[in-house]
Chains A and B, each alone.
Chain A
C-alpha cells in the first residue's frame, strides 16, 4: 500500500482503495468485537483482570464503541463507497490515490485516538469521546477527502440519473460532516451546561440516524439488485425513503434527555419525529424485500444475500423499537436500561453490520477477482454472528425489562444487579461468539486474497461460488 501512496494516480490499479478499506474494516471489526467480549466478561465477572488502569472497564468501553463505529462500520462504508459509486456511475473512482490516502490517514488517526482514549485522554462526552485534535483529523483527513472522492465520482458519472445508493452516499457524507462538526463544537468553543449536553446527544443520535443506518440501507439498495439480478422494486419508494430520512431523522435527539430540564416542546418534537421514522423504515424494508421476488432461494444458497436480507429483516424490529421507545409512555420504563443497550446493538451489530458484512464479502471478491476461499467458513461466520447476536440481543432486552421493573417498583439497585447476573453471562457468551465468527471471517478473507480461485472477466465471483 505504501508504494501506491506516492505513485501516479493512473499507475494505481483500480480497486486498491476498496481492498485496503475492506481489510482494515474487518480488522477493526475483530478488534472492536474482541474488546466488546472483554468488556462483557468484566461485567459478568468483575474480578476479571484488575489492578491496572489500562484494562479498567471505564477505559475500555469507549475504545470498544469507537473501534466499532469509526473502525468497522465507517470503514466498511468507505469501502462500499469506493466500489459502488463508480460502478453505479459507470465510471472510475475520481482519485484512487486520494482513496488510499484516506484509508491510510483513517487507520493512523483512529489508532492514535483509541490509544489516547485507552490511556484516559477523553473529552468526557458519550460517543464523541475522541479529543478535539483527533476530531479535527477525522473531519479534515477522513470525512472531507472521502466526500470529495464520492461527490466528484458522482459528478463525473457516465449515466444519466443518479441511482438511489449514490443519493444516499453523497448526502450522508455531507450530513455526517455537519453532525461531526456540531458534535465537536462544545469542545472547540467551550460550550457548557445544557447546551453541551444537548449537542452531545444531538451528535450521538444523528451519527446513527444520518450516517450509520441510511448508508447501511443504501448498501442494500445496491447489493440486493446486484446479487439477485432483479431491478429495484421501486425507485419512487426509494426516494420516499431518502426524503423522509432527511426530513424526520435529522433531529430526534432530545429523547435521550427526557429527564433533563430541556424545553418540553423539544421533547415532544423529538418524540413525534421519532415515530415518523417508521415511514422511511417501512419504505426501505418493503422495497428491498419486494426486490427479492422470485429469488428467495438465494436467501438460503448465497452467503451475501443471506447477510443482506438478515440485515434488512433486523431493520423491522429496530425501527419498531426505535420509533416507539422514545415516546414518553415507553421511555419512562426502558430509558437507561439494558433494553437500550440491546437496541443500540440491534442497530449497529444487527441491521447495519449484517448489511456491511455482505457488502464487504461481495466487494472484496469483486475487486480481488477471486472466489471466496471457503463457503463453509463464510456460513460458519454467518451462524456464529447471528446466534451470538441473538443471544446478546435477547439477554440484554430481558435484562433491560428487569432493570426497568426495578426502577419503577423501587427495588434496591443491588437486587437488580443480582437478578441481571445470568443475563450478563449470556451477553458475554453472545459477544464472544460474534468475535469468534469475525476471526474466522478475517482468516477466510485473507486466504481468499492469497489462494482464492481467480475469477475470469465477465462473471461474478458469487455466481461461481456454486460451480463445482
Chain B
C-alpha cells in the first residue's frame, strides 16, 4: 500500500513535468544562474563562485554589427560548468530541445574553452518558440572578449546573486510564488510550467513574512532604492522588520575606501534621535561585493 501510494506521487508527476516546454523565463533563468545554487563541488563555500555572467550587448563584439534591440548573452568563461539544460537537453522540453541542438548547436559547447549562449527565436511545427543558441559555435564569439566588450556596467552577476539570496535565507520570508488568488493583482501573475526548467533550487518558500518577490523588479526597478533598503530597510520603510544586510557591502566601497560602519551607525542614531535632518549616505557597493550581485539578480531575473 505504501509502495503504491508513494509510486503514484513520485513517478506520476514526473511525466507531467517532463512534458513542460521551457519558456523564455525558464531559459533565461537557468542560463543566467548556471548549474547549481547551494552546496556543490564547484562552490563549496556557497559564495557564488563559478557562475556565468549575463551581459547586455547592443553591438556584436566579433563583427561590430549593431544588435537592436540590445540582447542578453550568458558568458561561461573557461571552466565554468554549464547550466542543466545544456548538459541534459531533455530538460528543455519537446521542440526547444530539437531547435537548440540543430540550430543552436549547444552540443558543441566545450567547458575547457568556455562558451557564450543566448536565447533566440525559432520556428518549430509552425509555432514560434525560444531556444538556446551557442553563440560561440554559431557566430564564433570568444567568452573573454565578449566580457571585455560589454564592460562592467553591462554585466549582471545574476548567478552569484541567487546564491546570496539562498545562503542569506531571504526566501525564509519572501516567497517566489504568488498565490492563485487576488494575490495576482498585488504581486503579478503566477508562474507557468516551463518557467522552472533547469533551475535549482527553486526556493519557493512556504512562509510569507514579507511581500512576494517573483515580479518585484517590475514594481520597483530602482537600484538606489534597493541599495538603501538592503543597507538598512528602515531608511526607506520605517515599519519594516527586515534585517539589515549592511555586511553584504564587505570592507570597501566602489571607490576602494574602507567603509566605517561604526561612524555610519553613530550618524544614523543621531538621525533617529532627531539630532540631524538627513540619514547618512549609503556607501556605493563595489563591483565584486555581494550586494551588487544580489541587486543584479533581483533587477535582472525577478520581473
* Chain A residues within CB distance 8 Å of chain B: 42-44, 46-47, 50-53, 56-59, 61-62, 120-126, 131-132, 175, 178, 182, 186-187, 190-198, 200-202, 204, 243, 246-248, 250-251, 253-254, 256-263, 265-266, 269-270, 273, 332, 335-338, 340-341, 403, 407-410, 413-414, 417-418, 421, 424
Shortest CB-to-CB span from B83 to chain A, Å, is 9
Q: A51-B261, A57-B243, A120-B168 are in contact. Are A250 and B196 (CB under 8 A)?
A: no
A261 to chain B: closest residue by CB: B193
Cβ–Cβ contact B182 & A410, under 8 A: yes
Cβ–Cβ contact B196 & A407, under 8 A: no
Contact with A along B65-86 (1 / 0, CB 8 A): 0000000000000000000100
Question: For B2, B37, B173, B239, which residue has the most chain A Cβ atoms within 10 angstroms?
Answer: B2
- Looking at B7-15, B95-103, B132-140, B146-154, the stretch in contact with chain A turns out to be B7-15
Majority secondary structure, B binding face: loop
Q: A192-B84, A262-B13, A418-B239 are in contact. Are A410 and B185 (CB under 8 A)?
A: yes
CB-CB < 8 A to A265: which residues of B?
12
Query: Which residues of B in the span 182-207 have a Cβ within 8 Å of any Cβ on A?
Result: 182-183, 185-186, 190-193, 195-207
Is B54 an interface residue when CB atoms closer than 8 A count as contact? no
CB-CB < 8 A to B265: which residues of A?
51
A406 to chain B: closest residue by CB: B186
CB-CB < 8 A to B239: which residues of A?
414, 417-418
Q: A62-B169, A123-B39 are in contact. Are A246 and B2 (CB under 8 A)?
A: yes
CA distance A250 to B9 in the complex (A): 9
CB-CB < 8 A to B44: which residues of A?
121
CB-CB < 8 A to B233: which residues of A?
46
A-B residue pair count with CB separations less than 8 angstroms:
228
Contact with A along B154-180 (1 / 0, CB 8 A): 000000000000111111110101111
Shortest CB-to-CB span from B262 to chain A, Å, is 10
8 Å CB contact of A191 from B172, B195, B200, B211: B200
Cβ–Cβ contact B17 & A194, under 8 A: yes
B: contact size bracket: 35 or more
Shortest CB-to-CB span from B268 to chain A, Å, is 10
Is B209 an interface residue when CB atoms closer than 8 A count as contact? yes
CA distance A50 to B269 in the complex (A): 14
Question: For A58, A124, A195, A418, which residue has the most chain B Cβ atoms within 10 angstroms?
Answer: A124
Q: List 22 A-B contacts (CB under 8 A).
A: A46-B243, A50-B243, A51-B246, A57-B169, A57-B172, A120-B168, A123-B201, A126-B206, A131-B38, A187-B39, A192-B30, A192-B91, A192-B200, A193-B26, A194-B202, A200-B201, A258-B180, A266-B12, A340-B207, A413-B210, A414-B240, A424-B241
CB-CB < 8 A to B204: which residues of A?
197, 257, 260
Cβ–Cβ contact B1 & A407, under 8 A: no
Contact with A along B249-267 (1 / 0, CB 8 A): 0000000000001000100
CA distance A337 to B212 in the complex (A): 12
Cβ–Cβ contact A197 & B5, under 8 A: no
CB-CB < 8 A to A417: which residues of B?
210, 239-241
CB-CB < 8 A to B10: which residues of A?
182, 202
CB-CB < 8 A to B195: which residues of A?
261
